[in-house]
Structure 1
Amino acid sequence: MLRLEDVANVLLRVPSLLVLDLLYKCDIESFTHHLRASSEDMLFKYKYVLWNMYYLGHFASTVVLVLPLGHIVQLYLHVLTALLLYMGHQMSREYVVAESQYGYDGALFLHPSALNRFVRALTSQIIVATLCAFLMRTRRVWLFSAHMLPLLGRVFLISQDYALTLTTVSMGITAAEVAIFLLMNLFVPYRLARAMYQQIAQIEVTDLYRLLAVGMSLWHSFAVPVLFSVFWFVLFGVQLVSNVKSSTSIQEGLLLYLLTSVSECCASPYSLLGLTFVVSYLALGLLNLCKFCLGGYTALHNHNVMHRGVTEGVTMLLLALQTGLLDLPALQRCFLLFIILFIVLTSTLQSMSEITEPIVLGLGASRNRCVWKHVRGLSMCLFLLVFPGFMAFKISQFFHMDFWLLILVSSCMLTSLQVTGTLLIYCLFMVEVWRGAALPSLDEVVYYVNALCRALEFAVAVCVVAYGAWESLWGEWSWIGASVIIIHSYCNVWLRAQAGWKSFLLRQEAARKINSLPQASAEQLQEHGDVCAICFQDMTTAVITYCGHFFHGSCLRKWLYVQETCPMCHSPIKPSASVPTPAVGDVQPNPAQAQPHPNHPEPAAEHSDTHEGEQGQVENEVCSPDKKSKSETPSRNNSLQDLNCSGSGATAGPCCSLEGSPCNKRDCESEHRTNHPSDSNSPKDSDREP
């Protein structure tokens, strides 16, 4: 919810931007030439005064713009107080002039009309003085009552000539008060500047993160996007009113009327920045509307930076700077602005396509039964398919093709190509749903459709770069144009080619790994008796990884596009060449349990001990040194634990822990005597022969 402080923080800074914009549009050179034509002496007197006032206005407006909110409020209160004092002096002068015209110098109580005029003037003066004291937060109303001296002189029957002199004296008193106040606060800007300098001096120049933090803090505290947007809308409203009053009106067409007004509102760097932020907010509104149409309120919580209108605003600013929009005449600026706004619109349509594609493909892949969602997604796709093509056709029909128009047409073509690929893949998913069974090699078909669309996009990008390079070499060359070509070459040519080649290599590597894995037989699938852990569907055919897990071949291939490990245990799919590949179900003996330890003979009898597994199942394990422990493959729910008893310098007994830690012989025998009292006459350690 907006707070009054936030609103004031924006509105109180707008006048400074208006003054800066007005000063930028002022042509001091032409005014000095006019003074030169009038009189050389006048030029000599006022030339430097004008330039000093021009620079002083820039400095004062900039200082007011960057002041903290509290100081701006105080400044506006002082300015308002000064205006009230000026209004009070003007009312006093008007009263004195009116009384001199009436020509009555007698007592006020003897003339009712004179008394009535005096009461009205005195009441207004008291109100002005009270308001000034209220704004300055003081109870000393007499400090702001100097303009009431002519009225007091009228009470004491001062003549008309002395009344005018008294008016001048009262104005001098007020001017002296203002001068004293300014002298008392003369060093306030210096103290503010020194405090700001001390804060900046504490930040090291090499500390980039702190500099960025300070910049972001100032950006948010000044609310720069909202401030410039409000400033531009105020400027645009004033321009609309002035165009309505002038001869150029809506009769020539509403679109031309609006474009003319917009072009007049981007004649300075400040208004151009304002238009940039306005375009960014409008693009954000269109993108949010697209999200709302596709997914409702829940889709508005997407915090993707590229879908916040940033790209459109930056595109607008770069194109305006590259084409020299500020220096063009009004008619040419209007025409060029029309082209730039079309390019920004194509960028917005491309962002809408990026938002629509995953939602529509998700509806097809998830087999969503909500018809209304499908209708909304397909309607948005059809709009993004038809409108960019229609716009590209109209532009190529009415305008001569150059580099920037080629970028515009290519952006429209790329948007239509992307939407076409999305619709084709969506149709494949819908065919699969209609058949009720999986299409064979659907993944390959989807890949080839995407590859075809990406290849066409790559070809369009190469054509744009080639045309731009040819125009830069043989036509008009500029640094910004060359920079745009370089950025376009890197983002739309090099990165596209690199991503396509990487995807091709990943698919080749995944196919090679899948072909190297053994196929599961029918007996193995029946013994496995589980679904694929990736798609959770029954398996009629499957491949077996080297770690003993079963998957669909197509599912595992999709997984290998992203990861090179097993989805279950994260073991490498392709083992190293030095390690032999074990067959599924092989048993590897534990060498530590192959031979009994020579210091410990065999126990008298085999003992059974009951251990509880993780799932509450019971398993009897006999620890015998002459038997080999077998490593068993755990089942899919890991319900049984392998209770191997491993000895390290001691023979494992029935009291061994589940982790296979070595046990002590005496502990085993004491446990044995406790569980089997009949064997208590077994020989002790001291009676045994070594």
Structure 2
Amino acid sequence: MNEQRFNDTTVMNERFRIILKNFSEVALRLPGVLLLEIWWRNKDVHMTPEVLQKSPLSSYLEMNKIIQFIQTRNFDQSASVILSYAVVTLFSIFLSLPLKKLLSVYAHFLSLFLFGFAHYLSIRYVRAEQDSEGELQLDEVCKLEWHGSHILAQLMLCLAQSCLLGLESDFERIMLSVFLLPIFLRMSGMPLGLLMLAHNLACSLAMLNIFVYVLNRAPKILNCLRQSCQALKNVITSHGIIEGAVTIWHNLHFGELLSFAWLFIFLVQMYVNVADRPVDLAKLGILALSAIAESTSTPLSLLALALTVRYGCSLVINFSRWAIGGIHESSHFLVHTGYMEVLVLVLLFSQTGFLAMSREQKAFLLGLVLLIVVSSLLQSLYELLESRLLELGAIPNLFFESHLSSLFLAAVLFTLSIAITVVITNYLPIDLWCVIIGSDSVLTALRTLSVVLLYALTVVETRLPEFWEPCDGMIFLVKMATRILEFCFATFILCYGTFSFFVKQWSLVSFLVLVFHAYFNIWQRMQKIIMELRTRRAAVQSLSRLPRASPLILQKKKDMCAICCEEMRFEARVTPCNHFFHGGCLKKWLSVKQVCPLCYSFVSFKDEHSVNSNPVEPQGVPTANHLYISSAAFIDYEEEDSSEWDSDHSSPFNEYL
């Protein structure tokens, strides 16, 4: 017991360590993606005051001081090009360096910040001394406190920089203390007029120190960067272009990087939108759409938005999968992972020219696209719910408390689907896309209601002491009614789309959508309905010609149905090969295959002489001789008179039930 607990603790600690490591990598590489996004937004822009005022950065920075700096320093185009390539280089460093080397880069940036803070303390000391008395006399200990405090502050900064940079040379450590020069010279009696000269000399030595250090350390960083690029090249060479690119994508956590970068930009933009105005909850949705539009201005940010939607949808799907329980296996990696919603979003954005729109147009299109994404997400949740509800309904001994989460999810799906339909009909202009979204939402609500009805029928059937034969017919009616309503909605979409195509403005995309819709959602659905009706009718006709076993012989045999594994007490059908089954169970089987479930003899009555009474034993199928009745003398078939036969076929639906 203790060993098992120790193993569980070890596994949890290892998982926590991996999660913490991945989160640290994403957080440390995040500035590189933000720099690349800012560079992409301004890569073809000249640094002029008018452009800077219109730049998205004006929302985040104090642009008046930046413009004043540019105007007074003659920040020409050459410097802009140099800084542009510097940003790309920094992005490459942040993205490709290993975690330890990346921590070293952050240590250098932090030490540079400490250098700036040391400069700030030095200039404060010089200005404070210039405002003091002209002659300095250190004849008392209290007069040393002012100078000693500044020396101590500079010393602490030097120690911190030395630890961050890992300096081992005494000369390099001494060069870190250049801003102590004005303090020592002032304490030595330097006149106040020359004190600024001492500060300028310290600044010059500091810049020289940084220059020499960069010359010595930059080749090592570039060499490490070259090794990282070589490692990426080896991955692509060994795995191929596609698989190698996917491997690099996952190892660098590039999807999480883009998603976190987009969320950071969105939160900053949202803060800018609500900082200078009172928060109105009624307009919060409009402000959020406006912030999303402002945060999505480049192909990189558009990809980041798509990945954020993917992670959000995947989180909702995984939480729903955990809440309802069960085992959910998908046949494809795109199913129930959020990728389908991303494909829908990227397809719509690429067809509408999203990036070239104004902010108002982007906000409106985002509302429409997000409704489509939510509708697709509800469809994915319905697919999870359908299999789980039918599974729960077929388990007779499961506590009802385990059903509540699935029923709650069904209620949420039904409510949200109706809510999306109401929003579309009330707030959006009716066009082909709105009709498609609304119909899809209504169909999701209809399918959810249908699967709840099927679940209720299955629960009732599994909890009855004896087999309930009419339940199969009711289940078939619910399924067929759902399919017919789906076909009607699909036909309505086709009719409206055709009307819009000829009367309103048409486009090639709308035409292709209608063509695919007509083939997949109408033609194939109609063929499926016809096929199900035919197989159901054939199963009912075949079953109606099979004799019933009397209750007396059933009580004498005390046999079990080989399909549902329940005892046959009051009702059973006998196949031509003398095997007994429940009528409802055999009807379900014959709807799939017109053969005996045990011996695979054909159960067909189109030609009475073609019925093969001898079992056909395919390879791998048991003969089941222990259930085979060799003599018909032991079977007392019920005689059904003609009036009873006519009453069974009085309804036109009986040939399907």
- State the TM-score, normalizing by the size of structure 2: 0.73
1:142 to 171, 174, 187: 174
Instruction: Report if the CA contact (8 A) 1:519-1:544 is conserved.
Output: no
RCO comparison, higher one (Cα < 8 Å, 6+): 2
Report what 1:542 is aligned to: 573
- 1:6 and 2:37 are equivalent in the alignment: no
Normalized per residue, which structure has more helix? 2
Q: After the TM superposition, which residues 354-503 of structure 1 pair with which residues of structure 2 at under 5 Å, given as runs? A: 354-367=383-396, 370-372=399-401, 377-378=406-407, 380-429=409-458, 432=461, 437-465=466-494, 467-468=496-497, 471=500, 492-493=521-522, 496-497=525-526, 499-500=528-529, 503=532
Change over 3 Å in CA distance of 1:434–1:122 after alignment to 2: closer
Report what 1:78 is aligned to: 108
CA distance in 2, matches of 1:183, 1:474: 70
Q: After the TM superposition, which residues 37-56 of structure 1 pair with which residues of structure 2 at under 5 Å, given as runs? A: 46-56=76-86
Deviation at residue 122 of structure 1 after TM alignment: 0.7
Report what 1:214 is aligned to: 244
Change over 3 Å in CA distance of 1:138–1:197 after alignment to 2: closer
2:280 to 250, 273, 280: 250
Match for 1:230: what amino acid?
F
Residue 131 of structure 2 aligns to a residue whose secondary structure is: helix
Change over 3 Å in CA distance of 1:441–1:267 after alignment to 2: same
Deviation at residue 65 of structure 1 after TM alignment: 2.8
- 1:309 and 2:338 are equivalent in the alignment: yes
Q: After the TM superposition, which residues 667-682 of structure 1 pair with which residues of structure 2 at under 5 Å, given as runs? A: none
Report what 1:334 is aligned to: 363
- 1:67 and 2:118 are equivalent in the alignment: no
Residue 12 of structure 1 aligns to a residue whose secondary structure is: helix
Report what 2:207 is aligned to: 175
Deviation at residue 316 of structure 1 after TM alignment: 3.3
2:296 to 252, 262, 266: 266
Report what 2:37 is aligned to: 21
Deviation at residue 359 of structure 1 after TM alignment: 3.4
Match for 1:8: what amino acid?
S
Deviation at residue 173 of structure 1 after TM alignment: 2.9
CA distance in 2, matches of 1:179, 1:473: 71
Match for 1:309: what amino acid?
G
Q: After the TM superposition, which residues 79-94 of structure 1 pair with which residues of structure 2 at under 5 Å, given as runs? A: 79-94=109-124
- Give per-residue Cα distances to partners, 1:13-72, cap 9 Å, x unaligned: 222222233334448547559599x9xx99998235434533542453244234332332
- 1:321 and 2:350 are equivalent in the alignment: yes
For structure 1, which segment, 116-125 or 417-426, has the greater mean C-alpha deviation from structure 2 after superposition? Answer: 417-426
Uncovered stretches (5+) of structure 2, i.e. residues with no partner: 1-14, 53-66, 617-622, 629-657
- 1:131 and 2:160 are equivalent in the alignment: yes
CA distance in 2, matches of 1:51, 1:473: 52
CA distance in 2, matches of 1:150, 1:172: 13
Report what 2:649 is aligned to: none
- 1:351 and 2:367 are equivalent in the alignment: no
CA distance in 1, matches of 2:97, 2:395: 55
Deviation at residue 125 of structure 1 after TM alignment: 0.8
Deviation at residue 9 of structure 1 after TM alignment: 0.4
CA distance in 2, matches of 1:519, 1:31: 92
Q: After the TM superposition, which residues 161-172 of structure 1 pair with which residues of structure 2 at under 5 Å, given as runs? A: 161-172=193-204
Deviation at residue 344 of structure 1 after TM alignment: 2.2
Deviation at residue 375 of structure 1 after TM alignment: 5.8
Residue 196 of structure 2 aligns to a residue whose secondary structure is: helix
Change over 3 Å in CA distance of 1:96–1:481 after alignment to 2: farther
Q: After the TM superposition, which residues 640-679 of structure 1 pair with which residues of structure 2 at under 5 Å, given as runs? A: none
Deviation at residue 409 of structure 1 after TM alignment: 0.5
For structure 1, which segment, 556-565 or 167-176, has the greater mean C-alpha deviation from structure 2 after superposition? Answer: 556-565
CA distance in 2, matches of 1:45, 1:343: 47
CA distance in 2, matches of 1:8, 1:495: 50
Deviation at residue 236 of structure 1 after TM alignment: 3.0
CA distance in 2, matches of 1:67, 1:78: 14
Residue 401 of structure 1 aligns to a residue whose secondary structure is: coil
For structure 1, which segment, 556-565 or 304-313, has the greater mean C-alpha deviation from structure 2 after superposition? Answer: 556-565
For structure 1, which segment, 176-185 or 283-292, has the greater mean C-alpha deviation from structure 2 after superposition? Answer: 283-292
Deviation at residue 128 of structure 1 after TM alignment: 0.8
Percent identity over paired residues: 25
Change over 3 Å in CA distance of 1:506–1:224 after alignment to 2: farther
Residue 218 of structure 1 aligns to a residue whose secondary structure is: helix
Deviation at residue 123 of structure 1 after TM alignment: 0.6
- Give per-residue Cα distances to partners, 1:555-581, cap 9 Å, x unaligned: 34534666787655678889xx9x997
CA distance in 2, matches of 1:475, 1:63: 53
Residue 219 of structure 1 aligns to a residue whose secondary structure is: helix
- State the TM-score, normalizing by the size of structure 1: 0.70
Deviation at residue 392 of structure 1 after TM alignment: 1.3
- Give per-residue Cα distances to partners, 1:179-237, cap 9 Å, x unaligned: 333333444465455445544555677x8x64444333323323334333332332233
For structure 1, which segment, 371-380 or 256-265, has the greater mean C-alpha deviation from structure 2 after superposition? Answer: 371-380
Uncovered stretches (5+) of structure 1, i.e. residues with no partner: 587-631, 638-690
Change over 3 Å in CA distance of 1:248–1:582 after alignment to 2: closer
Deviation at residue 126 of structure 1 after TM alignment: 0.7
Aligned residues: 578
Report what 1:531 is aligned to: 560
Change over 3 Å in CA distance of 1:80–1:42 after alignment to 2: closer
Match for 2:434: what amino acid?
L
1:151 to 183, 187, 209: 183
Match for 2:205: what amino acid?
I
Match for 2:38: what amino acid?
L
CA distance in 2, matches of 1:164, 1:264: 46
Change over 3 Å in CA distance of 1:423–1:635 after alignment to 2: closer
CA distance in 1, matches of 2:47, 2:527: 59
CA distance in 2, matches of 1:380, 1:7: 31
